[in-house]
Amino acid sequence: MCGIFAYTGNKGKEAGGVLLDGLLSLEYRGYDSAGIFTPESGSVRSPGAVAELRKKMPKDFAGKSGIAHLRWATHGEPTEKNAHPHGSCDGEIWVVHNGIIENFKELKAKLERAGHTFSSDTDTEVLTHLIEEHLKHEKSFEKAALAALNEVRGTYGIALQYKKEPDRIIAARMGSPIVLGLGDGEHFIASDPTPILPHTRKVVFLEDGEVAVISPDGHRIFKLDSTKVKRDATDIDWSAEAAQKGGYEHFMLKEIMEGPEVIENTLRGRLIPEKGLAKLGGLETVAKQLEKIDRIIIVACGTASYAAQVGEYMLEEHARIPVEVEIGSEFRYKKPVVNERTAVLAISQSGETLDTLEAVREGKRHGALTLGIVNAVGSTIARETDAGVYNHAGPEVSVASTKAFLSQLTALALFTIFLGRQRGMTAAQGKEIARALKELPKKIQAILDTKEEIQKLAKKYAHARDFLYIGRKYNYPIAYEGAIKLKEISYIHAEGCGAGEMKHGPIAMIDENFPTMAIAPKDSMYEKMISNIHEIKARKGPVIAVATEGDKEIAKLADDVIYVPETLEMLSPILNVVPLQLFAYYFAKEKGLNVDRPRNLAKSVTVE
């Protein structure tokens, strides 16, 4: 997720100021690097957020139109050379992009053979060179841009500017949002309405496969095949803050609702379903070393450590390699037994959690191969590990981690196929997991569509002061994750517990005021879970069950049931956690608490 903003006007405004203000309001979409271009003054780019860009801009930076960008890095480190806008060889064509061009490697190779020189490591830069190439044969910039867009695969929300036509800007959308702002003598393009709202409330949302051209006095929309599109403008009554949250009340809800898109982004270009293989570019350099390791230690903290525990079950069952999970804050103090046949895998959304980072360094000191599953590109853990897999979940603003957790589990499933196929997993097994992974986005959407039901449940139980969460096997870590979500944003006592372990202590707490959330899908542990639920009911404990669609038996036993679609047992945590995230969200909202910024917590814990 990056932020783009473009402006063209004849009202005498300085585009530089308009664009910088717009970027500031978009900063929640990315803060790895920022950049700006106007035909009059050229481009200025800087690593870091908008304040850094502002410092670098010369006092005489001028222009009546321009494009600007905030980057959340996906391909290439968050450096100045990788910051947008990117230009063509002749410096005439400039682009800002949000999304991923999947076939950029083949396009880049073709363009390099045709004599183009690239100056960044990004996928985005192929766009300008491709348009430059098409401009050799096409009659107009617009036609060349269309030809290029018809050649790329992947997702994009873009704004393009051509120096020779300074007051026209082209936008296009495929998978990444684009909105046009229609003003009087000025027009805008942005990733969402936030930067447009101070100027006009009249907007037009582009749909996938649509292209738009704006100039100070108007706009046109057409499809990739040039057919005209007529679309009425919408009047937006959101505040700028609501617009940043996509109209949701909190970032946490917005990020939970992004689940289907996040899984698609984590999977994009990484599965070869017909062969039952996972293609993880970031692990290619260490693929041979991975064949030789005999043990994996996964290091992580908090929510990431619960993803790690699910990963342990996935990897041991399907890749047949011993896995241990270590809490980052403990690992380096316990004199771990690690050698060059060990892989230390760090899981971290921020890539900056100090304890996880120190655990990686400890692994390195002992000669281990170090790997990362990290969301923030170019973060310290991403840089210090030997190889890794990026989540591609986009920035997570809410302190409570939700969408990053889904992407961590998805990346672990991909890693399981990758490693499993090196170690005896059959193509048929690989295909089965790949197929099930591809079905997850629509299944998550089906759960999200029941959010009003979950909200009602949260209201019903909002009086509770304590909660027990239980699960077994793959859903044992999900019990802990459900509990941490509730306690960190609601400040109530919530305990995660392996359902089989309950009899060894926690069941003593159960009475009619102590509800239990039981994660009980129809899998290999179903009968055992049913017995555990009976034990709670025998002590008058209220039970909410998270169960598989169509399971009528559980409805007779539990007080309330949240149904989720069926999937493979190893992937069921990815679905089962979603209602728990929604339940925690609505529970805290019911209590009127600051959901996105809970007391005493920081998004990234960079101290011991």
Which residues form the interface with ligand M6R (CB under 6 A)? 301-304, 348-350, 353, 356, 399-401, 484, 488, 604-605
Least Cβ distance, residue 405 to ligand M6R (angstroms): 8
Closest contact distance (angstroms) between CB of 113 and ligand M6R is 41
- Please, is 591 exposed, middle or buried when counting C-beta atoms within 10 Å of its C-beta (0-12, 13-18, 19+)? middle
Report the residue number, 119 or 606, with the smaller CB distance to ligand M6R: 606
Contacts of 507 (CB under 8 A, 6+ apart): 535, 536, 539
CA nearest 265: which of 448, 444, 430, 410?
Answer: 410
| Cα dihedral 389/395/400/401 (nearest 10) | -20
In the complex, least distance from residue 361 CB atom to ligand M6R, rounded to whole angstroms: 15
User: Which residue among the candidates 105, 522, 537, 603 is catalytic per the annotation?
Assistant: 603
Q: Which residue number has the CB closest to ligand M6R? A: 302
Radius of gyration for the alpha carbons in the chain, expressed in angstroms and rounded: 25
Let me know if 301 is a catalytic residue. no
Cα→Cα distances 602→72, 193, 336, 353, 562, Å: 20, 28, 29, 11, 31
User: To the nearest whole angstrom, how small is the minimum distance from the Cβ of residue 600 to ligand M6R?
Assistant: 11
Q: How far is the CB of 485 from ligand M6R (least distance, A)?
A: 6
By beta-carbon proximity to ligand M6R, the closer residue of 258 and 566 is 258
C-alpha distances (whole Å) from 388 to each of 184, 396, 502 are 49, 20, 37
With b meaning 16 or more CB within 10 Å and e meaning fewer, what string describes 242-270? bbbbbeeebbbbbbbbbbbbbbbbbbbeb
Distance CA 391, CA 412 (A): 10
- Find tokens 């790329």 and name the residue: 152
User: Shortest gap between Cβ of 148 and ligand M6R (angstroms)?
Assistant: 37
Nearer to ligand M6R, 244 or 380 (CB): 380
Q: What distance in Å separates the CA atoms of residue 194 and residue 527, rounded to the nearest whole number? A: 51
The active-site residue, picked from 2, 163, 254, 443, is 2
Task: Give the whole-angstrom CA distance, residue 237 versus residue 356.
Answer: 43
Closer Cβ to ligand M6R, 390 or 514, answer by number:
390
Nearer to ligand M6R, 46 or 303 (CB): 303
Q: What residues does 99 pair with on adjacent strands?
A: 156
How far from the centroid of its chain's Cα atoms is residue 583's Cα?
21
Asked if 130 contacts 168 with a C-beta cutoff of 8 angstroms, the reply is: no
**Integer Cα distance of 588 and 571 in angstroms:** 27
From the number of C-beta atoms within 10 Å of its C-beta (0-12, 13-18, 19+), residue 113 rates as exposed
Provide the residue type at 200 as one letter.
T
Identify which of residues 266 and 349 has a Cβ nearer to ligand M6R in the complex.
349
Say which residue the tokens 């401009």 belong to: 135
From residue 220, give the alpha-carbon distance in Å to each of 190, 228, 286: 16, 8, 49
The residue among 381 and 436 lying less far from ligand M6R, judged by its C-beta, is 381
- Per the annotation, the verdict on 603 as an active-site residue is yes
Q: Looking at beta carbons only, is 85 or 302 nearer to ligand M6R?
A: 302
Smallest gap, in angstroms, from Cβ of residue 605 to ligand M6R? 5
Kindly state the smallest distance separating residue 88's Cβ from ligand M6R, in Å.
37
Q: How far is the CB of 300 from ligand M6R (least distance, A)?
A: 7
Rounded to 10 deg, the angle between the 451-460 and 572-590 helix axes is: 50
> Which active-site residues does the annotation give?
2, 603
